[in-house]
């Protein structure tokens, strides 16, 4: 007996494929908007590498935050498009731009506070979650790749800080990136894209160490303040006796 249901079956397939294509098109258009926001924020934060950009860091961070708010709104739109439980089916569409935004957000938070941005902080800036069961999440690998990109940017910033006459900043950057490197070494990374990206970190660390070493041999490293050995001693270097009248 002929199977009279074949046309109906394939008609159903066509409906599924059409819906799939429509969803992907919506995703691509929304991701393009997010990419545009990321490019604009990147352009803003590139100002830190200019000779006069260091003094404008607070304003650059304020402007970057506005860009993150715009990106957050677009991620909210994106989350509405993705069917429940199918996040990783479409994840490739926004993986790279998310990694870039993690890098930009982490860089901004470092410039503001001098510390490492947590995954939860970055996710909050983008309106994402960190647990898969909550739906639209900030993938852990995307977060880690973004941190590695930030380290490379800080290595560049260390060099340009010296050019701008800021000899203290490279020392702080060196300490921060060295600690970040130590953290990554605690992870058992597989031989994949993340592992290859992590391999670049050792060159970033070396580059920054060379900057600090060069400052040291030139006598440009700021000297730490002296610690008073007894009450009344002047921390700036003078002894108690120097400040007493006979």
What domains can you pick out in the chain, each with its CATH number? Answer: 15-83+93-222 (1.20.58.200)
Residue 75's closest CA among 133, 139, 22? Answer: 139
| Distances, alpha carbon 90 to alpha carbons 2, 27, 59, 136, in Å | 38, 8, 36, 11
What's the token pair of residue 188? 């058992």
pLDDT tens, position by position, 183-234: 999 998 886 889 999 999 999 999 999 999 999 998 877 665 554 444 444 3
Q: How far is CA 217 from CA 80, 83, 156, 209, 220, in A?
A: 57, 59, 20, 12, 8
pLDDT, tens digit, 9 for 90 and up, residues 163-183: 899 999 999 999 999 999 999
Give the C-alpha separation, 142 to 98, whole Å.
7
Query: Which residue reads 């400052």 in tokens?
Result: 215
Q: What are phi and psi of 137, to 5 degrees?
A: -115, 160
Q: What is the DSSP string of 154-173?
A: HHHHHHHHHHTT--SHHHHH
pLDDT at 75: 96
Q: Is 114 left (phi over 0), alpha (psi -120 to 50) or beta?
A: left
How crowded is residue 119: how many other Cβ atoms within 10 Å of its Cβ? 20
Q: Which regions in the chain score pLDDT beneath 50? A: 227-246
Query: Taking phi first (over 0 means left), then psi (-120 to 50 degrees means alpha), and beta for anything else, what does residue 219 get?
Result: left
Confidence (pLDDT) at 16: 65
The half-sphere exposure of 199 on its side-chain side, counting CA atoms within 13 A, is 7
pLDDT given for residue 230 in this prediction: 47
Q: Which residues pair with 137 in a beta bridge?
A: 129
Distance CA 123, CA 207 (A): 30
Q: Which two tokens stand for residue 160?
A: 């340009």
What was the pLDDT predicted at 177? 97
Closest to 78 measured CA to CA, from 34, 39, 40: 34
Q: Would you say 142 and 95 are in contact if contact means Cβ atoms under 8 Å apart?
A: yes
- Indicate the pTM of the whole model: 0.83
Dihedral sign, CA of 198, 199, 200, 206?
positive
Mean pLDDT of the chain: 87
**Count of positions (residues) in the chain:** 246
Place of tokens 């970040």: 180
């Amino acid at each position: 007996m002929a199977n009279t249901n074949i046309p109906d079956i394939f008609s159903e397939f066509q409906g599924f494929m059409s819906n799939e294509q429509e969803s992907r098109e919506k995703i691509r258009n929304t991701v393009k908007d997010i990419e545009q926001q990321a490019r604009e924020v990147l352009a803003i934060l590139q100002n830190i590498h200019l000779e006069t950009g260091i003094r404008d860091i607070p304003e650059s961070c304020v402007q970057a935050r506005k860009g993150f708010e715009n990106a957050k709104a677009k991620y909210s739109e994106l989350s509405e498009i993705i069917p429940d439980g199918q996040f990783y089916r479409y994840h490739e569409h926004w993986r790279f731009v998310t990694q870039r935004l993690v890098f930009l957000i982490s860089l901004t938070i470092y410039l503001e506070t001098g510390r490492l941005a947590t995954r939860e902080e970055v996710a909050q800036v983008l309106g994402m979650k960190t647990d898969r069961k909550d739906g639209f999440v900030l993938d852990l690998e995307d977060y880690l790749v973004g941190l590695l990109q930030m380290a490379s940017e800080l290595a560049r910033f260390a060099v340009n800080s010296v050019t701008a006459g800021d000899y203290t900043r490279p020392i702080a950057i060196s300490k921060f990136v060295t600690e970040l490197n130590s953290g990554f070494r605690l992870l058992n990374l597989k031989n994949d894209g993340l592992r290859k990206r992590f391999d670049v970190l050792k060159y970033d660390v070396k580059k920054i160490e060379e900057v600090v070493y060069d400052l040291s041999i030139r006598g440009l490293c700021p000297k730490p303040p002296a610690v008073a050995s007894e009450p009344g001693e002047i921390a700036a270097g003078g002894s108690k006796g120097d400040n007493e009248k006979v």
